[in-house]
Amino acid sequence: MDRLRKEHSLMEHVLTLLKFADESNVDIETFIKMYEQGKVSLSLQSQEIWTAYEVIHFMDEMPGGFFIYQANKEERILYVNKALLRILKCDTIENFRELTGNSFRGLVFKEDLDRVEESIKEQIQHSQFDLDYVEYRIIRKDGTVGWLEDYGHFVRSEYVGDIFYVFVGDATEKKLRLQREKMRLLTEKHLKEQELQKIIDQHSKELKGINQEHLRRLEVIEGLSIHYETILHVDLDTNKVFPYRLSRRTEIQFQERIHNLEFDQFISEYAKMWVYEEDCERFLEATKAEFIRKKLKDNYTYQLNYRLKAAGEIQYMHLRMVDVGNKESISQIVLGAQAMDEEIRHEIEQRKSYEAALKNAKEANIAKNTFLSNMSHDMRTPLNAITGFTALAKKHINDGKKMGEYLEKIELFSDQLLCLINNVLDLSWMESEKVHIEKVECNLCDIMVGVQEDLHLQIIEKKVTVSLNFDALAHAEVYGDQEKLRQTILYLAGNAVKYTKPGGHVEIRVVELGQPGKDYADYQFIISDDGIGISDEFQKHIFEPFEREKNTTLSGVHGTGLGLTIAKSIVETMGGTIEVDSVLGKGSVFTVTIPLRYLGIQTLYDRGSEKDEIRPEDVNILLVEDNEINLEIEVELLQDMGFSVETAVNGSIAVNKIKNSTHGEYDLILMDIQMPVMDGYQASKAIRQLEDPMLANIPIIALSANAFEEDRRKSSESGINIHIAKPIDIQELLTEITKIVQNHSSSFA
């Protein structure tokens, strides 16, 4: 026992003391007191106990934390010094025991325990001096979490079994600092990462931009080079050629040799295979490296035209070379070959159209000059005649027979002159594109008969027959423009009479090409003659203005070359067509086809019941005219014809006269248009608005120097029944007066 005791080291004494106190479940102070009082006995000598007790005291006061625990399963803590209690914020050892369950595993933060125990085991196994170092979290008494640095020493104790001496330090501050540092580093790292990401993003964006730009440029190249069937990049220094685009032809050349075909080899093969023989030499010369260099020395581009032999046809090509390298040396060339067929064809067509335009302009000019000279001639002829016969009339003023002849001639030539002027006016009106087409009820048979009547004088003079044929006409009553239809047929029939020799025949035939179930039909007006005919060549130009096959001087037939132009224009405005078919010396056929809507009932030509004859002396006319001379002539003419005439010198006076008249006092008003105070249109409108219907409906005939279509339309809008152009045609006036008075009196009868 003694020997054993001696061998006990001081620490064994300390451990023994601690073990006994622990087994007695008291603290060391109490245990010592109990020992002094002899309540417990120990196998140690008193001196050993006191030394051990002093060591424990010393351990108690150590500035660093220190504890001892059993290295067994329980890991029970045998000793804890004050410094560790302070670290754990425990006031007493009881507090500590409560907090940790008095075991090492109760001291270590639960989640760190496995790692810590594993580490200790591992370290002790490999440590020469049975030392270990671990760090772990603890929960202090106040609930806060702290960190301990644990320097353990594994010791085999003979008396108390295996134990660990553990020196601990409060590593909370250090850990916090480390954590802060780590956080800082992490933040720094994060910031750097963000910065890096930014740079990467920026870089990718730039890269994307570059790619897009690259693509755009490629598109621009594609767009600009669309017409080039072959595009090559050539390095003149190395004699290398790189294809960018290949045509069917050049593709054959490259095929397998896409990377190793040399430029001069390519050119010589190309020339041999494709270039038109005559151009070969020039082509080869112009595509030599030295030649290209020379050409591109002062210019960026240089071009060459040549021809290709292509399936029996010649194809035009255009080769363009562009210097794309640096300025110092000319070596990098882009070469583009373009088929020029389209352009050259376009050029040829353009040239043709210019030539045609020039020819047209020249022809128009010739036609205009011819027209002017014809006009001058055609106007002079009747004018000459008028002045000549007037002079003759004056000379033979007392010879009634001669006077009669001269006046008739004067009248004839005045008519010719008037016709000429009317034609020119009509044409200028047509060309102004303001033609107005009426759609009113009219009878086609009436119109044809009217045309025949209009031609009466010419028919007699020329001794030709004009027959009418309505056999193929089912509906004579149509909606159309009576005046325009009459005018058109009159032009054609007039020509037929004019260009047919005495004894010849003219026929005006109306054919209806109806469609079942429809209320309209294509009406054909066929005017045929067995006259002089028209040459094939002239038929091509017959409807052009001022065109005449033979001028008046040559043919002796008066004309302007405008009638057919006007007729065609009217027909086309009505939605129809006009055609000519003629054989020189045999005769001509003019066919006008116009779509017209017809009235429901079948109304073959019917002249109607004979109306009562009108006697001029029964007709009272109010003549409204401001021009004194005209007034005088017109009064005399009308009175000569037997009418009784009253006058008014402006529209306003006329309106008053009518307003204050009794029924029947006036049968008709002849109204001038341009007048001071109130013009003819206004006056007519005012009359039409009179309250008394008998007065408001008095027939009005406009006698106007304004002969345009527009004037006729205005007249009709103002309520004027008929518009007659001045100078007055006595016969026409008489016919119209008779017609209108007759109709009016029958409608009011």
What residues line the site for ligand ADP (CB under 6 A)? 491, 495-496, 499, 529, 531-534, 542, 548-549, 559-565, 588
φ/ψ of residue 89, rounded to 5 = 60, 35
Shortest separation between residue 508's beta carbon and ligand ADP, angstroms? 12
How far apart are CB 224 and ligand ADP at their closest, in Å?
A: 55
Residue pair 544/564 in contact by the 8 Å Cβ criterion: no
Counting beta carbons within 10 angstroms of the beta carbon of residue 685, is it exposed (0 to 12), middle (13 to 18) or buried (19 or more)?
middle
Residue 534 or 658 having the CB closest to ligand ADP: 534
Distance CA 264, CA 285 (A): 11
Taking the least distance from each CB to ligand ADP, the nearer of 375 and 734 is 375
Q: Which is nearer to ligand ADP, 155 or 459 (CB)?
A: 459
Site of tokens 């090559």:
232
What is the three-class DSSP state of 506? Answer: strand
Full DSSP string of 35-62: HHTTSS--SS-HHHHHHHHHHHHHHHH-
Min separation Cβ 693 and ligand ADP, Å: 45
State in angstroms the smallest separation of the CB of 722 from ligand ADP: 26
We find the least distance from the C-beta atom of residue 471 to ligand ADP, in angstroms, to be 22
CA 424/CA 190 separation, integer angstroms: 96
Question: Mind spelling out the 3-state secondary structure of 698-713?
Answer: CCEEEEECCCCHHHHH
Choice between 69 and 499, CB closer to ligand ADP: 499
User: 219: how many CB neighbours lie within 10 A of its CB?
Assistant: 10
Distance of alpha carbon 683 from alpha carbon 698, whole angstroms: 13
Minimum CB distance to ligand ADP, residue 498 (Å): 6
157: left (phi over 0), alpha (psi -120 to 50) or beta: beta
In angstroms, give the least distance from the CB of 357 to ligand ADP.
Answer: 24
Decide: 147 and 174 in contact? Cβ < 8 Å.
Answer: yes
Nearer to ligand ADP, 362 or 501 (CB): 501
Q: CA-CA distance, 537 to 276, in Å (whole number)?
A: 43
Of 416 and 684, which CB lies nearer to ligand ADP in the complex structure? 416
* Closest distance of CB 542 from ligand ADP, Å: 5
Q: Which is nearer to ligand ADP, 558 or 744 (CB)?
A: 558
Residue 522 — φ and ψ, nearest 5°? -85, 120
In whole angstroms, how close is the CB of 307 to ligand ADP at the nearest point? 49
Tell me how far, at minimum, the Cβ of 533 lies from ligand ADP, in Å.
Answer: 6
Sheet with 301-310, strands from edge to edge, namely 240-245, 228-235, 332-339, 313-323, 301-310
Nearest to ligand ADP of 382, 563 (CB atom): 563
CB of 511 to ligand ADP, least distance (A): 19
Composition of the chain by helix, strand, coil, percent to 5? 50, 20, 25
Which residues lie closer than 8 Å to 63 by C-beta, 6 or more apart? Answer: 83
Q: Which is nearer to ligand ADP, 470 or 499 (CB)?
A: 499
* Min CB(465)–ligand ADP separation in Å: 15
Kindly tell me which of 336 and 587 has the beta carbon lying closer to ligand ADP.
587
- Strand pairing of 700-704 and 668-672? parallel
> In the 8-state DSSP scheme, what is residue 691?
S
* Comparison of 548 and 723: residue with beta carbon closer to ligand ADP: 548
DSSP 425-478: HHHHHHHTT------EEEEHHHHHHHHHHHTHHHHHHHT-EEEEEEEE-S--EE
| CA–CA dist 488, 527 (Å, integer) | 11
Q: What's the residue count for the chain?
A: 749
Q: Which is nearer to ligand ADP, 65 or 559 (CB)?
A: 559
Please state, as a whole number, how many other Cβ atoms lie within 10 Å of the Cβ of residue 651: 26
* Residue among 304 and 485 whose Cβ is closer to ligand ADP: 485
- Minimum Å distance from CB 552 to ligand ADP? 8
Structure tokens at 333: 């060339």
The closest alpha carbon to 640, from 736, 547, 730, belongs to 730
CB of 561: closest distance to ligand ADP in angstroms?
Answer: 5
CB-based contact 464:502 (threshold 8 Å) = yes
Cis peptide, bond prior to residue 727, ω within 30 of zero:
yes
Task: Name which of 527 and 720 has its Cβ closer to ligand ADP.
Answer: 527
